[in-house]
Each structure stands twice: as structure tokens, then as C-alpha cells.
Amino acid sequence: MEGKQVTRRLVLVPVPAQGHITPMMQLAKILYLKGFSITVVQTKFNRFIPTDDFIDVHFVTIHESLPESDFKNLGPIRFLLKLNKECQVSFKDCLGQLLLQQSNEISCIIYDEFMHFAEAAAKEFNLPNVIFSTQSATAFKCRSMFGKLYANNVLAPLKGPKEQQEELVPEFYPLRYKDFPVSRFASLESVMEVYRNSVDQRTASSVIINTATCLESSSLNFLQHQRLEVPYYHIGPLHMVASAPTSLLEENMSCIEWLNKQKVNSVIYISLGSLALMEINEVMNMASGLAASNQYFLWVIRPGSVPGSEWTESLSDEFSKMVSDRGYIVKWAPQKEVLAHPAIGGFWSHCGWNSTLESISEGVPVICRPFSGDQKANARYLECIWKIGIQVEGEMDKGSVERAVKRLMVDEEGQEMRKRAVSLKEKLRASVISGGSSHNSLEEFVHFIRSL
Ligand code: UDP
């Protein structure tokens, strides 16, 4: 074998959900371009079908037995618990096979922080492992502190009356209790069980986070000085470093042609990501608010995202007539292209972390309507820290939709936010180019895994 260069192999384990698959696949592409061989281990549930962009990546599917209905019936938190139990043995078998079959030695397992079954298998085979947090550093900080705060009863107001939930959580500014990343679909005990397996209980070789210092310096500082005992790297936003199609659903490209016909900054893009659901009455109020706002809009309504309705049946003919020349509705959009389009002047978002990063990286201000998990913390950052967001809280009626859309798209306030969003976009761009903080951190991470 003298003279033959051995390529090091990395095994990547994403959570089977759009918002987690996307950053993991971006990481796969980046690390492949840095000279590593990549194996992605996926579950049968929500499997990503690789496009030609991933021709050099090796995909393996483990055959856990999770029916599609489980996600809907259990909700994300209990589903994650079940997924981790189901995958434990099959992943160990899969890793054993990979070690036998593959000529390249496995350098390390990089797994989504919620796929902690991968850590147990890595330990068994004596392989280094890296935790990849695909959400914000702030959400990671909350999760890593959850056990301690829960045990000390600091999080009791989460179960308390409404007024208590409005109070700020000490040392977590600007988060109020109601913004703390817990699921609205699961008990605190189940959340605790998922987070118990989070970073503070484990001994990973390092942690990587899809964020940048210009966005979250205080949370990153906290993690570095008070929480993490292993090297950590803030390497994001990864979509600005490597982009490749990673959509589980088919993107409707016709909306780009429609946007091409619209004026600069004249359209608000509305999308609630891949998981959030909307009540029928919320959809109807959204429609009447949009109609009353007189603004142009591109609206993603995912089939199945409105329980009790297939797609757009809840929208009246009157609404369709009223907005026929200034509204466009699709089932799934090419979001990154949409946000980069000059016609887009604002984003009505559920504030998932990918959507948040994608919006900032294009200098687009946001109307925040978070649903669950980390989205509420992201919304607070958009509104209070970066000051490029307007949060719509409480009941969403025609008036609140109309007001928020006008504030962002018409008023001076919205224009000021747009300017701040553009300036944040420049900072973010500077952090991913040569010499920037995320760029340097990514280089250090690559150096670190080469040294394993
Ligand atoms: N997305 C998309 N088209 C859509 C809606 C969403 O491509 O019509 C993508 C979006 O660009 C983002 C991901 O889906 O990368 C959603 O991830 P996010 O973290 O924002 O939210 P989640 O779906 O996890 O709640």
C-alpha cells in the first residue's frame, strides 16, 4: 500500500426531518470537498433521495420499523424518543458492517444532537464522535442547561399562570419563560428525557453549531466558558458555504417566474417550514388580513398543514378573486431562491433556525409567528436582539395580520428593519469568507477531525 493515500471516512447521521437533513447534507458536501469520504446513514422514515449533487456521497439506510403515522400521532418529542430506541441496534449493526466492508477507515461519527443512539454505537466501536447542533447556539445553551434548571425548579413558571410566563428567564435575556425551547406537544418530563441525552451528559470529542458569532456571541461565550468541556466550533451558516438541493418535497419553480414580474421589495413571502400546522380559522384570518393589507404575497401552504383540509379549500372564492393579481400560492417553494429574489421585501415565518438563517443571509426582515421548540427563541432574537423582526403574538385575526404586514412592508419601521437586515447580511457574509470567524472555525474543525 506504500504511496497510496488513505482517504478518511466520516459517518454522518441526520435527524429525518427537513430542517435537520438540509444542514447535515450541506456539511456532507463541505467535508467531501475538504477531502473526506462521506457515508450518510439515514432512517427509512423520511429518507432523503440524493440528487446528482451527492453522487460522491455513500448513502446507507437502516431499517427501523417506524410507521409514517407515528410522527403525527406521537408529536416530535415522543417520536424522537421512539426513534432513538428503534435505531439503537440497527445502527450498531450498520456501523459494524461499514467497518468490515469499507476500505477507508472511519475517522469519526458526526451525528445530529437528537440522534444520540449514534454516540452509544461510536463508543462501542471506539470511534470518536462529534455532536452537530443544527439549531441556534441559544437553543443549545437552553437544552444544555435544562436539566439543572429543571432540577432547581427554575423552570417552574413554564407550568405556571400566563403572567409568570411573560417574565424574563434570569440569565437568558431576551427569552421569557414562554420562549424557552420546549415542545407544546409534550410534557416537560418527556422534553427532559430528550434533553437529558443532550451534550452535558455526554463525552463527545467536539461540538459543531450551525451559527456565527455575529449572531449569537453571548450564547457562544456562555457555552465556551461555562458549559462545554470539549472543543466547539461555530461553523455556520452552512448554506452560505455549500448549497445543494436537499428538499424532500418537490419545489414549485413557477413562483420565481411570478416574482420576476413584481417590483423590488414589493412581495411578502409566507412559509411555516416543513412541520408547523395551522388551524383552519388561522388560515382564513391570514387570508383576510393579506387581502386587507393590499400587499403582494407568495404563500406556501403545504398539503396536510391545515388539519381537516387537503390544501386550499378553506380559502373563499371571494378571496381568490380579490387577490388574483397580487397573490401566488404554492405547495412548496424553492425557499432560498425566493428569499434571494429582489422582489421579496419581507418574510412571514415560523422562525425555524434554517429559515431564520436563510432570511438574514439575504437581508430580508421577518414577521415572526413561532409555533414550538426553538422557534420562539429565534423569534425573540429576530425582534429584540437583531431588531429585524415583528412578532405576532396571541390570537391571529384579520386586523393583526393586516397591521403586521403593513408595518413590515409599508411603514418606515419596516424600512429601518430592512436596512438593519442588510447590514447583518453583510456581517454574516464576512464571517463565512476567508479570514471570517465561521470560516476560521470550520478550518479549525477540519484540522481537528484530521487529527483524530
Ligand atoms: N423550505 C423550502 N420550501 C418551502 C418551505 C421551507 O425549501 O416551501 C425549506 C427552508 O428553506 C428550510 C427548511 O425547509 O431550509 C425548513 O427548515 P426550518 O429550520 O426553517 O424549519 P422546520 O421545517 O425544521 O420547522
DSSP state of 6: P
Ligand 1 atom nearest the C-alpha of 276 is 25
Look at ligand 1, atom 2, and give the residue with the nearest C-alpha. 335
Whole-number Å distance between alpha carbons of 332 and 110: 29
420 three-class SS? helix
Helix or strand run (H / E) with residue 226: none
Ligand 1 atom nearest the C-alpha of 247 is 7
Q: How far does the centroid of ligand 1 lie from the alpha carbon of residue 372, in Å?
A: 14
> Which amino acid type is present at position 415?
Q
DSSP state of 334: -
Give the number of other Cβ atoms within 10 Å of residue 89's Cβ.
13
Pairing label, strands 206-209, 232-234: parallel
The pick from 15, 18, 251 for probing ligand 1's pocket by mutation, whose C-beta has the most ligand atoms within 8 angstroms, reads: 18
Look at ligand 1, atom 5, and give the residue with the nearest C-alpha. 273
Q: How far does the centroid of ligand 1 lie from the alpha carbon of residue 336, in Å?
A: 9
> Pick the catalytic residue: 58, 112, 116, 234?
112
**ω into 334 cis (within 30 of 0):** no
56 is catalytic: no
Q: How far does the centroid of ligand 1 lie from the alpha carbon of residue 220, in Å?
A: 24
Per-residue pLDDT of the chain (452 residues; tens, 9 = 90+): 344 556 889 999 999 999 999 999 999 999 999 999 999 999 999 999 999 999 999 999 998 878 878 887 888 888 888 999 999 999 999 999 999 886 668 999 999 999 999 999 999 999 999 999 999 999 999 998 888 888 888 888 888 888 999 999 999 999 999 999 987 777 888 888 778 776 555 679 999 999 999 999 999 999 998 888 899 999 999 999 998 899 999 999 999 999 999 999 999 999 999 999 999 999 999 999 999 999 999 999 999 999 888 999 999 999 999 999 999 999 999 999 999 999 999 999 999 999 999 999 999 999 999 999 999 999 999 999 999 999 999 999 999 999 999 999 999 999 999 999 999 999 999 999 999 999 999 999 999 999 98
Helix or strand run (H / E) with residue 423: helix 412-432
pLDDT value at residue 198: 63
* Domains recognised in the chain with CATH numbers: 9-245+434-450 (3.40.50.2000), 254-429 (3.40.50.2000)
Contacts of 36 (CB under 8 A, 6+ apart): 7, 8, 9, 10, 107, 449
Taking each continuous run of H as one helix and of E as one strand, the counts in the chain are 16, 13
Residues within a 6 A CB radius of ligand 1 = 17-19, 22, 247, 271, 273-276, 300, 332-333, 335-336, 352-355, 358
Whole-number Å distance between alpha carbons of 452 and 199: 20
234 is catalytic: no
pLDDT value at residue 201: 57
Helix or strand run (H / E) with residue 317: helix 317-322
385 three-class SS? helix
pLDDT value at residue 156: 85
Sign of CA dihedral 420, 423, 427, 433: positive
Helix or strand run (H / E) with residue 40: strand 37-43
Question: Are the beta carbons of 219 and 136 closer than 8 angstroms?
Answer: yes
Ligand 1 atom nearest the C-alpha of 22 is 15
Whole-number Å distance between alpha carbons of 107 and 192: 31
Q: How far does the centroid of ligand 1 lie from the alpha carbon of residue 373, in Å?
A: 15
pLDDT value at residue 6: 64
Three cell numbers written together for 272: 411555516
- 26-40: b or e for each residue (b if 16 or more CB lie within 10 Å)? bbbbbbbeeebbbbb
Whole-number Å distance between alpha carbons of 81 and 314: 35
pLDDT value at residue 67: 81
Question: Are the beta carbons of 336 and 23 closer than 8 angstroms?
Answer: no
Ligand 1 atom nearest the C-alpha of 349 is 20
pLDDT value at residue 179: 95
Q: How far does the centroid of ligand 1 lie from the alpha carbon of residue 301, in Å?
A: 12
* Beta bridge pairs of residue 60: 41
Name the H helices within 34-172. 69-101, 117-124, 137-151, 162-165
Question: Are the beta carbons of 26 and 241 closer than 8 angstroms?
Answer: yes
